[in-house]
């Protein structure tokens, strides 16, 4: 298979390209810069997709499959225009395209946000609308029988530079205070879905091989937050106490939800967002998506966290000083 990966140096794109090379395919990665490395065995074309002729170097080639991870509608529209001769187009979208994140267990037929009218997503505030516009461009430009839309949920596993899946096993393995206490939000029933980047990439490559069409929620299995924390403690060998804090107390002390500085990753307190990590993945699993146990994902992520240094700057979680101060305050 001649596979064109529009991306390939960042986390998911790199893993897709790496696995595709490993399966014997001829892989070409198109990137503007290098946010990481191109996998050994893959070819690299440097190009700016914001340029109207940015894909000119690869447009004359016949591709068996194209995989696109862009969030910019203009980039996707130009790719659909210029790569129309490709046999198959797989667009990696997001569950953020859905209009309502409150209900649990929604499938792919749930209502979507209106597509972004602009060709440029200026801020992450319109990420869902931008991805919806990208989906629309692919489906309308190529036809549903020649493409697939993978609506991806929270990705985890080794290489998680966003820090959301690595924080909990890392913190349980490296507590901030001497007695091993770790601060957790009081949200035991909160749904959490994590799909291992390796499982997602394997499924995407296989779908390019068999040219599977349709729309799929590519998410992990749903666990409760309590179950997720229990697995993270187990893989870390944590024996300390859990200091549990309610949402009101955490908000009052400046702790953020989900991700970012001074946050407790994966935590959400707004009931209107409870369903974001509780979407049905039945259609994808029926189509061959295989998920490894959560314990394996978190164990491997912990190994990666420690191999890259637990003191590295984080994009999610509490610093040791922040957590220690909060534990002292909580009592």
Q: What is the pLDDT of residues 188-220, one digit of tens each?
A: 999 999 999 999 999 999 999 999 999 999 999
For range 294-317, the mean pLDDT: 96
Q: Are 156 and 197 in contact (CB under 8 A)?
A: yes
What confidence score (pLDDT) does residue 146 get?
A: 96
Please give the backbone phi and psi of residue 68, each rounded to the nearest 5 degrees, phi first: -125, 130
Structure tokens at 150: 């993978």
Give yes or no for residue 33 having a pLDDT over 80: no
For range 294-303, the mean pLDDT: 98
Give yes or no for residue 55 having a pLDDT over 70: yes
Instruction: Tell me the C-alpha distance between 153 and 278, whole Å.
Output: 9
Give yes or no for residue 35 having a pLDDT over 90: no
Give yes or no for residue 36 having a pLDDT over 80: no
What confidence score (pLDDT) does residue 34 get?
A: 66
Pairing of strands 182-185, 191-193: unpaired
What confidence score (pLDDT) does residue 8 get?
A: 77
Give yes or no for residue 114 having a pLDDT over 80: yes
| pLDDT tens sequence across 125-173 | 999 999 999 999 999 999 999 999 999 999 999 999 999 999 999 999 9
Which residue stretches of the chain are H helix?
Answer: 11-22, 56-59, 73-82, 127-142, 167-173, 197-210, 225-236, 247-252, 282-286, 294-308, 320-330
Q: Which residues of 154-181 are buried (b: 16+ CB within 10 A; e: fewer)?
A: bbbbbbbebbbbbbbbbbbbbbbbeeeb
Measured between its terminal Cα atoms, the distance across the chain in Å is 60
What confidence score (pLDDT) does residue 329 get?
A: 96
| pLDDT tens sequence across 213-238 | 999 999 999 999 999 999 999 999 99
Nearest to 64 by CA among 20, 124, 12, 15: 20
What percent of the chain is predicted at pLDDT more than 70? Answer: 99
Assign 262 to helix, strand or coil. coil
| pLDDT tens sequence across 244-298 | 999 999 999 999 999 999 999 999 999 999 999 999 999 999 999 999 999 999 9
Instruction: Tell me the C-alpha distance between 141 and 121, whole Å.
Output: 20
- The whole-angstrom distance between residue 65's C-alpha and the CA centroid of its chain comes to 21
Nearest to 58 by CA among 21, 88, 84, 40: 84
Q: Are 105 and 115 in contact (CB under 8 A)?
A: no
Beta strand segments in 32-73, E: 43-46, 65-68
Q: Place 10 in a pLDDT band, splitting at 50, 70 and 90.
A: confident
Helix axes of 73-82 and 127-142: crossing angle, nearest 10 degrees: 10
Which sign, positive or negative, has the C-alpha torsion 137, 217, 261, 12? negative
């Amino acid at each position: 298979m001649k596979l064109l990966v529009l991306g390939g140096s960042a986390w998911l794109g790199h893993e897709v390209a790496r696995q595709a090379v490993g399966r014997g395919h001829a892989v070409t990665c198109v990137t503007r810069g290098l946010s990481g490395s191109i996998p050994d065995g893959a070819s690299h074309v440097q190009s700016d997709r914001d340029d109207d002729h940015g894909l000119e170097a690869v447009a004359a080639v016949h591709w068996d499959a194209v995989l696109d991870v862009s969030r910019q509608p203009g980039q996707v529209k130009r790719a659909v225009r210029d790569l129309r001769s490709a046999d198959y187009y797989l667009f990696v979208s997001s569950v953020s395209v859905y209009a309502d994140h409150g209900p649990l267990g929604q499938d792919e037929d749930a209502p979507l946000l209106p597509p972004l009218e602009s060709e440029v997503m200026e801020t992450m505030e319109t990420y869902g609308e931008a991805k919806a516009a990208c989906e629309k461009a692919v489906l309308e430009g190529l036809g549903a029988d020649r493409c697939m839309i993978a609506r991806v949920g929270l990705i985890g596993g080794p290489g998680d530079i966003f820090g959301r899946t690595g924080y909990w096993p890392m913190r349980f393995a490296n507590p901030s205070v001497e007695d091993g206490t770790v601060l957790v939000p009081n949200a035991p029933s909160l749904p959490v879905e994590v799909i291992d980047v390796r499982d997602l990439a394997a499924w995407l490559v296989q779908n390019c091989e068999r040219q599977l069409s349709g729309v799929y929620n590519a998410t992990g299995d749903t666990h409760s937050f309590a179950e997720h924390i229990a697995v993270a403690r187990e893989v870390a060998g944590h024996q300390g106490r859990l200091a549990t804090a309610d949402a009101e107390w955490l908000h009052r002390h400046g702790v953020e939800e989900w991700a970012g500085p001074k946050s407790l990753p994966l935590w959400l307190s707004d009931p209107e967002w409870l369903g974001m990590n509780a979407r049905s993945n039945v259609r994808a699993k029926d189509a061959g998506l295989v998920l490894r146990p959560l314990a394996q994902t978190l164990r491997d992520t912990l190994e990666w966290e420690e191999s890259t240094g637990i003191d590295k700057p984080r994009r999610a979680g509490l610093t040791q000083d922040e957590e220690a101060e909060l534990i002292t305050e909580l009592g």
